[in-house]
Amino acid sequence: MSTVIRCVSIMTAAAALVFGSAVYSAEVTHLTIVGAGKGAGAFRQAGAMAEVVNKNSKTLNITNQESGGFVANTRMIAAGRVELAISNGVFVDFIQRKQKPFHTEKKPATSIRGIGPSAGSWLQIVVLKDSGIKSLMELKGKRVSLGPKGSSSVFMIETALREVGVLDSMRKDYLKWTDGANYMIDGKLDAFGIPNPIPSPSILQAATSRPITVLSLPDSVIKKFTGLSKGYFEDNADMSVYEGMKGMKVKTIAYKVFYLAHEKVPADAVYEICKHFYDPKNRDFILSMYKPLRDGLDTAMNDKFIKQMKAFDLKLHPGAARYWKERGYAVN
């Protein structure tokens, strides 16, 4: 889909530029950000950015719009259908190289630009503790929700279950994450999952009602993911926050997450976003909305994330580059 750019008049008779859903005027710039649907950490991460910018800026207003997740987000930001998005470095890499799940795109994406780090994510596939299920292989013939279509959940869970040879045997659902949690609690599902910060809102919702087990990934699945992209990495993640998992770690796959902008969003707007979101004085307010964002804010304390972006050929947006350069970071 091509970017829509047209001129309109506003009440002040000043000229305004409309791009996607944004209106750029002499007064307030309205932008839309997509993270995920309710029940996913990315929805709260997007909401936190919108809230802190709207609270502190006199020139920007950001709307947090629900979406299917990172696959959908990456497509939308590449096509200019939204101005801001959250996605992982892996999918930015994939869409720029036309790799699955973006292999059907007409051409490689060249319009995505980086803003800065958000919270990392860990693949979490869960079952009820009293189910007795202790491995992915034991999901053979079971009913599993892979997450809503358009999400990284579907891509990653399908990849994991296909690798262990059980994907084709199971009954597959594509529920929103909160619905997946409710269905599992009610005994209508055997498992659901999501790549998310820890704790994941939907998994925490399930564990609050009934103790859960987060399944470890076998070595073959870890190797599969790390072979797909250097953006994936193995981690032994502490799942103690969930009822039923106290003191327990699981071997899983993780990735870094970034705030993104389309290349045509004005540099001043992106600079303003960085100035408020990454300002230490706003840290407590941001963490009051979503504590796992501590990971992204801590990551922003040095310039290693810029090197990570470069590994995926993800260029900094000029407005972000200006901000990080002022922080003393190497942006070239």
Q: Minimal CA–CA distance to 144: which of 127, 124, 120, 129? A: 127
Q: How far from 204 is each of 41, 103, 135, 155, 191, CA to CA, in Å?
A: 11, 34, 20, 22, 14
Residue 20: band (very low, low, confident or very high) from pLDDT cuts 50, 70, 90:
low
Task: Give residue 150's pLDDT.
Answer: 77
Is pLDDT of 11 > 60? no
C-alpha to C-alpha distance for 224 and 241, rounded to whole angstroms? 28
Mean of pLDDT values over 140-156: 92
- Token pair 């707007």 is found at 269
- Residue 18's pLDDT is what? 45
**Tens digits of residue pLDDT in 239-257:** 999 999 999 999 999 999 9
pLDDT (average), residues 204-229:
95
| CA triple 304-298-61, angle to 5 deg | 100
Give 311's pLDDT tier (boundaries 50, 70, 90).
confident
Write down the mean pLDDT value for the chain.
89
Tens digits of residue pLDDT in 177-193? 999 999 999 999 999 99
CA distance 329 to 203: 37
Which residues of the chain does CATH 3.40.190.10 include?
A: 5-120+258-326, 121-255
Q: How much is the average pLDDT of 305-322?
A: 92
Phi and psi at 55, nearest 5°, equal -70, -35
Residues 90-115 have pLDDT tens digits of 899 899 989 888 988 888 889 999 99
Average pLDDT over residues 126-137: 97
pTM: 0.78
Among residues of the chain, what percentage have pLDDT more than 70? 92
d(CA 144, CA 191): 5
Give the pLDDT of residue 26.
52
Q: Please confirm whether the linkage preceding 266 is cis (ω < 30° from 0).
A: no
Closest CA to 153 of 135, 130, 177, 133: 177
Is residue 218's pLDDT more than 70? Answer: yes
pLDDT of residue 332: 79
Q: Is it true that domain 121-255 has CATH number 3.40.30.10?
A: no
- Show the CA angle centred on residue 183, arms to residues 144 and 195, nearest 5°: 55
d(CA 258, CA 73): 12
**Structure-block tokens of residue 39:** 């029940």
Give the list of residues 6+ apart from residue 77 with CB closer than 8 angstroms, or none: 34, 84, 85, 87, 111, 112, 260, 261, 262
Task: Give the model confidence (pLDDT) of 264-293 as tens digits.
Answer: 999 999 999 999 999 999 999 999 999 999
Q: Is 275 left (phi over 0), alpha (psi -120 to 50) or beta?
A: alpha
DSSP H or E stretch at residue 53: helix 41-56
Domain 5-120+258-326 -> CATH class:
alpha beta
User: Looking at the predicted structure, is the pLDDT value of residue 16 above 50?
Assistant: no
243: which residues sit within 8 A by CB, 6+ positions away?
Answer: 207, 208, 210, 211, 212
The two structure tokens encoding residue 315: 């260029």
User: Above 80 in pLDDT, residue 1?
Assistant: no
Tell me the C-alpha distance between 44 and 289, whole Å: 7
Structure confidence at residue 40 as a pLDDT band (50, 70, 90): confident
Quick one: which of 198, 253, 255 has its CA closest to 41? 198
- Residue 6's pLDDT band, with cuts at 50, 70 and 90, is very low
